[in-house]
Amino acid sequence: MEIKVLASGSSGNAYFVSDGTTPLVLEAGISFRLIKQGLNFKVSQIAGCLITHEHADHARAAQELMKAGIDCYMSQGTAKALNLSGHRLQVIQALTQFQVGTWAIKPFQAHHDAAEPLCFLMADSSHGKLLFATDTAYIAYRFKGLTHLMVEANYSAPLLKDNTPSSELRRSILQDHMSLDTLIKMLRANDLSKVEEIHLLHLSDNNSDASMFKQRIQEVTGKPVYVGGQRKE
C-alpha cells in the first residue's frame, strides 16, 4: 500500500493512497492546482475521492475534482452543506460498504462539529486494511486485521491547558478532535499485530509536540510512526 501526504494542516488536507491498482485521493482540502501538482498531474488516473466532511480544509476542491471527471464520495449531510450535485457526486451512508475499484470501503460516524462527518475503513486487493480517521473526538469501534493507520492525534491535555487560554476554544477542541491519550486508548483496544505503519494527522501547532507524539506512539505500539503534518487551531 502506498500512502502519500499531499497536505495536512489548517490550510488544507489531502492524501493519496493506492493498493497498486486503484489510486484514490482522501480529502480535497487544498486547491485543485496543488492536488494536481501533488499527483504529478496524473489526475485522470484517480478512481475517486473520499471526503470526510464539509469544512473547507477537507473539501475545498471537491467541485473542481468532480468537474475534472472524478467521483467524490461523501455523506448526504456533507453534500448538502457543500451544495453539491451531479453524476460525479456519490452519496454514501455510515456502516454501508461500497466499492471503488479494488477497494472495499466502509464509512462510519465521526464525532466532529459538522453536518454528517465520516471516517473510513478501507480494505485493498492485497489483504491490506487502512483506517482513515481524522477530525473526530474518538473512535467507537474496534477493528480486526489493520495493516495501516492514518489517524488524528491533535493535542495533549497538558499542552492544551497551558497554551489555550480561551475556555470556549478548549471546549471546542475537546469535543471535536482526538487527543494523544484518546488515540493511545484506541490503539490499545485494537489488535495491531498486522500493522505495518501508523501516520499521525492533524497535530495542533500550539497543543502538540510532534517528536513526543511520535515517540509515545512508537513506544505504545512498537510500530513505525510518521507525522503527516501539523495543524494550527
Domain ranges of the chain: 2-231
CATH, range 2-231? 3.60.15.10
pTM for the predicted model, two decimal places: 0.91
Q: Please list the ranges in the chain whose pLDDT falls under 70.
A: 156-176, 205, 229-233
Residue in 143, 118, 130 with CA at minimum distance from that of residue 22 = 130
pLDDT score of 188: 96
**pLDDT tens readout for residues 135-152:** 999 999 999 999 999 999
Structure-block grid coordinates of residue 58: 477537507
Which long-range contacts link 36-44 to residues 24+ away (Cβ below 8 Å)?
Answer: 38/4, 38/6, 38/7, 38/14, 39/6, 43/68, 43/70, 44/69
Give the pLDDT of residue 233.
35
pLDDT of residue 122: 98
pLDDT for 100-129, tens place per residue?
999 999 999 999 999 999 999 999 988 999
For residue range 14-23, what is the model confidence (pLDDT) as tens digits?
A: 999 999 999 9
